[in-house]
Structure 1
Amino acid sequence: MSKREKLRITKIESQKRNPRRVSLYLDGRFAMGIDLQVAQDMGLRQGLELSQSQLQKVTSAAEKSKAKSFALDFIGYRARSVWEVAERLKKRGHSQNVIDQVIRELRQSDLLDDVQFAAQWAQSRVATKPLGERLLRRELKLKGISNEIVEKTVAETFGQVSQKELAANLLKIRRKRYLALDEKKAKQRMAAFLLRRGFPREVVWEVVEQALHKGKED
């Protein structure tokens, strides 16, 4: 490649909104924004000439840095699954190669772990808004969790917590809603509610019968 085919860095300027990023100008024109640390690591400076292959490396590094910065902010709000991060980066227009690199680095740093994510999700859901294994299984799959991890998480979660107890507690909270109903309608509504919460049918009918029996005693 001849010297004429190279592009000269004519200015590197700090960005006003984000001092950790700089604007890179090539031959007097704005070319891209790039993380300051990346620019320093790549030895970018005013007057440096870049070949097309060098420019491609800078462009790729800039995209990866931007994608990783977003991903770190994204997982900073709450734990995320690998699929959630990858999908969000894809929607932002990042290439699959960059997405794969970012995901790999986050996993290596233990910032992304589907096993931990699934366990935390299950614990949170059981504690704050009790649900049965069927609904938990569906929610985890919607987060892109593999079948193997889903089944392991469901088994461990309900090996420690009784679905029957969870369902019974839910009905206790909602008990007043059914007091004015006749037995048949109350039974139907209680069962429908627990089934929507993902509890197995055998658990649902047992808990509903117990709730109705207790209601008669009261």
Structure 2
Amino acid sequence: MARAILLRQLTLGPRSRLQLERKLRDRNVPMEVAAALLDRFEDVGLVDDAEFARMWVRGRGEAKSLGRSALRRELNEKGITGDLAEEALEELTPDAEEESARRLLARRVRPFDRTDPAARDKELRRLVGLLARKGHSPGSAFRLAAQVIDADSGDNVLEQRPY
């Protein structure tokens, strides 16, 4: 029964060892059985926390434009901590993180009266808050949002920086 639970979970998508342990605990599988089965799944490569962490950082960093701190927090919730999490986060280069944030801002910037300083400040605060909630550092969030807002045309912001 425990093997079927694990295989079903893994067909839904990659899972960390902690996530699978929690699922087995929720299904009242004895912890000795769960540990032995998870060890076997790790031996044959079906459960690999390092690979899971790399895939999670790559996928969530690109798809959701998340910054390092948000990704670190999500990995921690999945049971990936310490060196394993830091190794996965090293794959997210600062340039890639910044480009992801720029793309997000380019999609989310709203038209505003560029001659009105109050309207500019309001949009700047909104965009900085958006990046802050996505786990980007305050300094880079402010810098990137200001660059997007100060661009000549709001619809082609990505041309400011070469790829």
Q: TM-score, normalised by structure 2?
A: 0.86
Partner of 1:77: 12
Task: Identify which of 76, 84, 102 aligns with 1:149.
Answer: 84
Aligned residue type for 2:112: L
**d(CA) in 2 for partners of 1:164 and 1:202?**
12
Task: Identify which of 92, 95, 101 aligns with 2:27.
Answer: 92
Q: Does 1:179 align with 2:112?
A: yes
- Report the aligned-residue RMSD: 1.5
Residues 41-80 of structure 1: pairs in structure 2 closer than 5 A: 66-80=1-15
Return the offset for 1:69: 1.5
Partner of 1:166: 100
Which structure has the larger Rg? 1
What CA deviation, in whole Å up to 9, does each residue of 1:15-49 have, x standing for no partner?
xxxxxxxxxxxxxxxxxxxxxxxxxxxxxxxxxxx
**d(CA) in 2 for partners of 1:199 and 1:211?**
16
More strand by share: 1
Task: Identify which of 50, 64, 89 aligns with 1:129.
Answer: 64
**d(CA) in 2 for partners of 1:118 and 1:200?**
21
CA contact (8 A) 1:122 1:136 kept: yes
Return the offset for 1:165: 1.5
Q: Does 1:201 align with 2:138?
A: yes
**What is the DSSP-based 3-state SS (H/G/I as helix, E as strand, rest coil) of the residue aligned with 1:139?**
helix
Moved over 3 A (4+): none
Aligned residue type for 2:45: D
CA contact (8 A) 1:118 1:150 kept: yes
Q: TM-score, normalised by structure 1?
A: 0.65
Uncovered stretches (5+) of structure 1, i.e. residues with no partner: 1-65
Aligned residue type for 2:124: K
Partner of 1:101: 36
Aligned residue type for 1:174: R
**d(CA) in 2 for partners of 1:168 and 1:112?**
34
More helix by share: 2
CA contact (8 A) 2:67 2:97 kept: yes
CA contact (8 A) 1:118 1:149 kept: yes
**d(CA) in 2 for partners of 1:92 and 1:130?**
34
CA contact (8 A) 1:133 1:158 kept: no
Q: Does 1:111 align with 2:46?
A: yes
**d(CA) in 1 for partners of 2:92 and 2:48?**
17
**d(CA) in 2 for partners of 1:184 and 1:87?**
46
